[in-house]
């Protein structure tokens, strides 16, 4: 994968794609059943689109 193909999604896009609320996303991250966010800058996080796509494909089987 090249740098040109890496996309980072913000919280609103992750919520729209997964149908989960903010609270549920963070609870699942803590439980290890949802992809971890990555720090973009101070106070700004995002998720790698490929990680979210993997989770959407198999939400019950996904593990960190």
Separation of alpha carbons 25 and 6, rounded Å: 21
Q: Identify the domain containing residue 47 by its residue range.
A: 3-57
Count of the separate structural domains present in the chain: 1
Question: What sign for the dihedral angle of Cα 27, 33, 35, 36?
Answer: positive
Tens-digit pLDDT string for the chain (64 aa): 555 678 999 999 999 999 999 999 999 999 999 999 999 999 999 999 999 999 999 999 887 7
16: in domain: yes
46: in domain: yes
62: in domain: no
Q: What's CA 33's distance to the chain center, in Å?
A: 11
- Cβ–Cβ under 8 Å, residues 13 and 45: no
CATH code at 21? 1.10.238
63: in domain: no
34: in domain: yes
- Cβ–Cβ under 8 Å, residues 21 and 15: yes
């Amino acid at each position: 994968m090249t740098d040109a193909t890496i996309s980072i999604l913000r919280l609103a896009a992750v919520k729209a794609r997964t149908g989960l609320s903010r609270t549920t996303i963070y609870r699942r991250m803590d439980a290890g059943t949802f992809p971890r966010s990555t720090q973009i800058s101070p106070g700004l996080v995002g998720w790698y689109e490929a990680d979210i796509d993997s989770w959407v494909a198999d939400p019950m089987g996904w593990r960190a």
